[in-house]
Amino acid sequence: MPPSPDDTTSVYKPQRVSDSVLEVREVTKRFGGNVAVDALSLSVSRGVVAGLIGPNGAGKSTLFDLLAGVQTPTKGRIMLDALSIERTPAYRRARLGLGRTFQVARPFPALSVVENVMLGRHDQSGEAILPNWFTPRKVHRQERETLGKAMDLLRFVSLDRLATQPARVLSGGQRKLLEIARVMMGDPRVLLLDEPAAGVNPSLLDIIMDRIATINARGVTVFLIEHNMDLVTRLCSHVFVMAQGRLLCEGAPDTIARDPRVIEAYLGSAAA
């Protein structure tokens, strides 16, 4: 049931996508009297790079928190493939293949860059106490393997030369790259990127965009919040626009940019 482009009814009907990897169904999040996300539904198709844009206060970050499990919705369901995950704790969602990065990058500052990345792996036997004492060889073997993969990922984001440095020495943009390497260590199916371009200098921005495209080309679905429209236009095949906790519209980036409702939401009714 695709919406006609000149659909002018006030309540927006989301598009139904047959093969959705991540689906939000009628999700509401209230903070006291404030409704941050209001009965919102959307569906991210498998294998795409989808963008989420909207003016400040639209509820984008809250929606991401709900998806990642930092918050639980007041109402509604969130589906990862066929699994309903809205009550699943954040750590388990990560293990289910839902990776995320943060708006302000959160490396572990005292840990070395490479160990930041190594932490991203899920099935490490050495992360339990007893194997370290009773099957140390297995732990060691696995740890060397993890190290190898972590170094590959650091080369992928061009941070391999800083591998042994504590993560606190990294610049803002490098931290964003580190987070991408770290989350990729867990082989996610879906990657939530919260403003990957925020606070990144222009020379790093190209690298970040290129790496996101490469990750997507390897089969990972990417869903990102971004204010940088250049990035959204170049990377995303599908864009969702949020305003006041609701989905305003969705579609290809160039149609979205021309949509009067979007212009109105960003600039106020006078501009429309």
Ranges within 3-42 binding another protein (CB under 8 A): none
**Does residue 112 bind another protein (CB under 8 A)?**
yes
- Please tell me whether residue 77 binds another protein under the rule CB under 8 A: no
Q: Which listed range, 49-57, 103-111, 230-238, 256-264, lies at the site for another protein (CB under 8 A)?
A: 103-111
Compute the least distance from the CB of residue 36 to another protein, in Å.
18
Stretch that binds another protein, among 14-22, 44-52, 168-176, 224-232 (CB under 8 A): 168-176
d(CA 187, CA 209): 19
Binding status of residue 171 toward another protein by CB under 8 A: yes
- In terms of CB distance, is 96 or 256 closer to another protein? 96
For position 128 contacting another protein by CB under 8 A, the verdict is yes
Contacting range for another protein; rule: CB under 8 A; set: 3-11, 67-75, 221-229, 235-243:
67-75
137 binds another protein (CB under 8 A): no
- How many residues contact another protein, by CB under 8 A? 64
Question: Pick from 3, 47, 76, 166: which binds another protein (CB under 8 A)?
Answer: 166
Q: Does residue 89 interact with another protein by CB under 8 A? A: yes
From 44, 50, 177, 184, residue interacting with another protein (rule: CB under 8 A): 177
What is the 3-state secondary structure of the chain?
CCCCCCCCCCCCCCCCCCCEEEEEEEEEEEECCEEEEEEEEEEEECCCEEEEECCCCCCHHHHHHHHHCCCCCCEEEEEECCEECCCCCHHHHHHCCEEECCCCCCCCCCCEHHHHHHCCCCCCHHHCHHHHHHCHHHHHHHHHHHHHHHHHHHHHCCCHHHCCCEHHHCCHHHHHHHHHHHHHCCCCCEEEEECCCCCCCHHHHHHHHHHHHHHHHCCCEEEEECCCHHHHHHHCCEEEEEECCEEEEEECHHHHHHCHHHHHHHHCHHHC
Q: How far apart are CA 84 and CA 79, in angstroms?
A: 5
Residue closer to another protein by CB (options 13, 92) is 92
Q: Degrees (nearest 5) of the Cα angle 37, 42, 43?
A: 145
For another protein, the binding residues (CB under 8 A) are 68-70, 89-92, 94-95, 99-100, 102, 106-112, 114-115, 118-120, 122, 124, 126-129, 132-133, 136, 139-140, 143-144, 146-147, 151, 155-159, 161-166, 169-171, 174, 177, 182-183, 185-186, 201, 203-204, 207
